[in-house]
Amino acid sequence: MSRISGPRQGGSVETARFDIAVRLAWDWNVPINSSRPWWQHSVCYQIYVRSFADGNGDGVGDVAGIEQRLPYLADLGIDSVWITPFYTSPQLDHGYDVSDYRDVDPLFGSLADFDSMLGRAHALDIRVIVDLVPNHTSSEHPWFTAALASAPGSRERERYVFRDGSGRGGAKPPNNWRSIFGGPAWTRVDGGHVDDDGPGQWYLHLFDASQPDLNWWNPEVGDEFESILRFWLDRGVDGFRIDVAHGLYKPNDLVDKKRGDRAPMPMWDQPEVHEVYRRWHKILEEYDGQRMAVAEAWTDTPESMARYIRADELQQAFNFHWLSAKWSAAAFRDVVTETLAAVSLVDATATWVLSNHDVVRHVTRYGGGDKGLARAKAAVLMMLGLPGSAYIYQGEELGLEQVAVLPEHREDPTYFRSGEVGRDGCRVPIPWSGSEPPYGFGPGDAQPWLPQPAEWKDLTVEAQEADPDSTLHFYRKVLATRREVTTGISDEVTVLGSAPGTLALRRGDALVCIINCGSRPAKVPAEAGRLVISSGPMHGNGTLPPDTAAWFATA
């Protein structure tokens, strides 16, 4: 599907890795398929449920709030939404700690609210992707409470990763693995089960201690998740975002992690995970309407990412290499060429993303302030010109920056386990209207669960609606233009020779996308064609200002 070829003139320095990418791309003559599945070129809007819109006025976003704001999303021009977990949960990791996978947490509404929101989304032509959390449950899940009440070796304990400790009396964790959120990845059961009068076994949690890892070697676990998939597919969801998709299987010997940043990570990306996705692929195919799943898989290379989207596995995998690239034309070029080469190997399309609820918002990553915003708009314009699908994170269409959340307001378990600032700063509730918090987040005056900054008064949806030069209008225009000029065009990408500090890509023979990451205005290649859209003001004399991207139509 996606294809990549090299620069037609020797203008820019190409790396050895790029040569490999070009050699790997063999499918030059694949015809453009006008009946491609919807998810291959869609734009999905990520809703972090507790921070999007509050329908009942308790200061926490909910499903009714999402439904009320669907017309806003339809106007924005997205194709689908991904909603982060809204299932029953003690909320110790804001829903990524699920205690009942088949119900809606009362904090967010009810199953009836969900059905109503789903129906309204479909009526507006918006597909709905829900989050599935298969790596771990909440420690309040009935399976885990049963495991705690049962003896070592019992069927109940076999659903999780329980082990005896090492050292004298089993007082040390079974291995040296660390939690992603900080601290050891093991917690010892105190007492344990009814007949146990001493400290007991340890259980594995790659995240918070309230998120025990499931034992995917146990077929009962796989059966349960297939049933959960069907539960939501039967309700009509269009797809799933698979949390920690690369994590499910841990080697049975639980070998220690070797020291050093580059040492292999025994807990991630084990070959057995792919068998799970082959089974899920078959289930998705049983349903009509092109149901899909997107992997959250933090893998080492584009090639290992692409293994999750082989023809008989999942449909999309987030390209976190794009999100992690620094502000540099060379870095962007390497990611684009390596990604397109990797996905073409498995005949799949790429899935681009710049921000989500786990990372610092990209306006801030690119330097913050006016410069950060200019770069963020340039990067998103470049991203949306690339072949494949893209995800945008709520609030990026308003140009929101990361917020410095004070320690007393922080809720992210990362902060409590590691002392690091954590992820709350990208999760501050959306400002909709008005000149002071809660900025129309809910129907009344209840302050949202995280405080919103005073500067956001100029960034509300209402304020930006009224300003034709706002970031919101820019996103609407880009999404509308994308629909108009990229629908059905070739996925073949050619890297053009271009000025230092810039990256110029030609898509088929229809579109040229250029980004200037350098510090000087750069000449636009002569072959670029007619200007279609730019992320900032253009210079009249055929040059692209720094921190700006533009699309040109070659026809």
Active site residues: 243, 286
| Inter-residue contact 457 to 468 (CB < 8 Å) | no
Return the SS3 of 390.
Answer: strand
Q: Where are the alpha helices (DSSP H) in 408-508?
A: 413-418, 461-465, 471-486
Closer CB to ligand NOJ, 357 or 375, in the complex: 357
358 interacts with ligand NOJ by CB under 6 A: yes
| Radius of gyration for the alpha carbons in the chain, expressed in angstroms and rounded | 24
Closer CB to ligand NOJ, 92 or 340, in the complex: 92
Q: Which helix (H) or strand (E) holds 47?
A: strand 43-47
Closer CB to ligand NOJ, 100 or 358, in the complex: 358
Which residues in 133-172 contact ligand NOJ (CB under 6 A)?
133
48 interacts with ligand NOJ by CB under 6 A: no
| Inter-residue contact 90 to 108 (CB < 8 Å) | no
Pick the binder of ligand NOJ from 82, 96, 277, 439 (CB under 6 A). Answer: 96
Q: C-alpha distances in angstroms, 545 versus 26, 85, 303, 322, 328?
A: 36, 41, 34, 22, 15
Q: C-alpha distances in angstroms, 72 versus 22, 51, 237, 472, 505?
A: 41, 15, 20, 11, 32
| Inter-residue contact 290 to 39 (CB < 8 Å) | yes
| Inter-residue contact 317 to 265 (CB < 8 Å) | no
Strand partners, 514: 504, 550
318 interacts with ligand NOJ by CB under 6 A: no
Closer CB to ligand NOJ, 79 or 243, in the complex: 243
Pick the binder of ligand NOJ from 1, 92, 98, 244 (CB under 6 A). Answer: 244
Closer CB to ligand NOJ, 209 or 496, in the complex: 209
Show the binding pattern over residues 198-237: x = contacts ligand NOJ (CB under 6 A), - = does not: ---------x------------------------------
Q: How many CB atoms lie within 10 A of CB 149?
A: 14
Pick the binder of ligand NOJ from 79, 113, 243, 411 (CB under 6 A). Answer: 243
Return the residue nearest ligand NOJ (CB atom).
96
Closer CB to ligand NOJ, 156 or 296, in the complex: 296
Least CB distance to ligand NOJ at residue 181 (A): 8
Cα(446)–Cα(441) distance, integer angstroms: 9
424 interacts with ligand NOJ by CB under 6 A: no
Cα(315)–Cα(302) distance, integer angstroms: 15
Least CB distance to ligand NOJ at residue 18 (A): 31
Q: How many CB atoms lie within 10 A of CB 549?
A: 27
Least CB distance to ligand NOJ at residue 354 (A): 15
* Chain residues that interact with ligand NOJ, rule: CB under 6 A: 93, 96, 133, 207, 243-244, 296, 357-358
